[in-house]
Amino acid sequence: MRLILEALPGFYKVVSEELKLKGVEGEFKRVNETTHLLDLKNDEQLPLLRKLQTINNIEKILVEIPYVKSIKEFRRECRRSLIELRDYITKSTVVSARVKDVKRRRLLVILREIQRIFKCSLSRSVGDLDLVIRFLDDKYVVSLNIGTFQPLYRRWYTYHKSRASLHPSIAAAMSIIAGEQSRILDPFCGSLTIPIEYLRMWRRSYATCIDIDKKTIINSIKNAILSGTYDRMFIIVEDFFSAHLREQYDTVITDPPRGLRLESSIKLYKKFIEKSINILSENGKIVTIVFKRDLKTILKEIPKYLSTNIPLETVQGGYKVCILEITK
């Protein structure tokens, strides 16, 4: 079975790592920043893919139509190739089609041929079949959305969502970068996206979550309960910088408050790193998110005895961001 996996920009390595963690067997290939191909060896592993935390959507490739310059010849190729859809489309089927990187004229040819061959109806809204038409590897590919009724990044447990909530896929990527640790700390937990995604990824870990906003924490606890991770969380309503933490943590993983001016942001990161280093165990690490525009300035403020790494660059809320890894 040939599948298309969609993810956020720059996610190839973390998706590949999660496929290994979940035991999915197959050849994984990067097509572009957001699109990846997976030749699945065992079709029975398909339910495992729906549980991946770093991808946005899954599509099954149904038809590949060779590219030809002439529209007449392209129609002929469509007729030959689209016959393979007979197992999926009948006269009573309502087909909805989404387009990605396809010229309008050729898209209309494909849609008209689908309608002509199968006598089915097309709809702009959600139909019985959700087809995606795109141009990949010099071919027009018709694929079937086999994820869930909504994109995979829209988590079922999201009862409460704060204004500046982190994208769940980025939280999952940070969890993979951090690796499995027995105890982690999120000092700016907000809607608990990072602790939830981390504890879903690593089933034997425990998380301490701190936030100063009591109202946000009360609402976010419902997210933790729905996700089934609440029993492995210890939640503190307090300012991280004034909190007296006696434990040592293997990893501090967090998304500090964003939207601050550069000077305020640098002061916050500097203070956050200084305190985090004091509560980290030996060889512990900090995994955090930083705006790309602020990265160079923040790196200058990090003590030289700490090693730094930028394992991932992606997009959050329309802004370029980096995952910063600091090892003690």
276-314 pLDDT tens trace? 999 999 989 999 999 998 899 999 989 888 999 999 999
Collect all residues with Cβ–Cβ distance below 8 Å to 76 and sequence separation of at least 6. none
Domain end, chosen from 111, 145, 179, is at 145
Mean pLDDT of 135-161: 79
Q: Compute the distance between CA of residue 114 and CA of residue 111 in angstroms, rounded to an integer.
A: 5
Residue 149 has pLDDT above 70, yes or no: no
Same domain, yes or no: 106 and 178: no
Q: Compute the distance between CA of residue 7 and CA of residue 54 in angstroms, rounded to an integer.
A: 7
Tens digits of residue pLDDT in 250-274: 999 999 987 667 678 888 999 999 9
Same domain, yes or no: 136 and 19: yes
Domain end, chosen from 85, 114, 145, is at 145
CATH number for the domain harbouring residue 6:
3.30.2130.30
Same domain, yes or no: 40 and 175: no
Same domain, yes or no: 263 and 115: no
pLDDT-based confidence at 147, cuts 50/70/90? low
Same domain, yes or no: 97 and 186: no
Same domain, yes or no: 101 and 174: no
Same domain, yes or no: 176 and 115: no
246 lies in some domain:
yes
158 lies in some domain:
no
Tens digits of residue pLDDT in 154-199: 787 887 777 778 999 999 999 999 999 999 999 999 889 999 999 9
Domain that holds residue 65: 2-145
Same domain, yes or no: 303 and 177: yes
Tens digits of residue pLDDT in 213-242: 998 899 899 999 999 999 999 999 999 999
pLDDT-based confidence at 98, cuts 50/70/90? confident
CATH number for the domain harbouring residue 235:
3.40.50.150
Q: What's the 3-state SS for 151-175?
A: CCCCCCCCCCCCCCCCCHHHHHHHH
313 lies in some domain:
yes
User: Given this model, what pLDDT does residue 260 score?
Assistant: 63
Read off the pTM: 0.90
Same domain, yes or no: 191 and 232: yes
Beta bridge partner(s), residue 288: 254, 324
Collect all residues with Cβ–Cβ distance below 8 Å to 168 and sequence separation of at least 6. 53, 153, 155, 193, 197
Residue 118 has pLDDT above 60, yes or no: yes
160 lies in some domain:
no
What element of type H or E holds 105? Answer: helix 104-118
Same domain, yes or no: 188 and 299: yes
253 lies in some domain:
yes
Q: Compute the distance between CA of residue 295 and CA of residue 98 in angstroms, rounded to an integer.
A: 37
Same domain, yes or no: 287 and 174: yes
Same domain, yes or no: 323 and 238: yes
What do you get for the CA distance between the two ends of the chain, in Å? 44
266 lies in some domain:
yes
Domain count, the chain: 2
User: Given this model, what pLDDT does residue 257 score?
Assistant: 86
Residues comprising the chain, all counted = 328
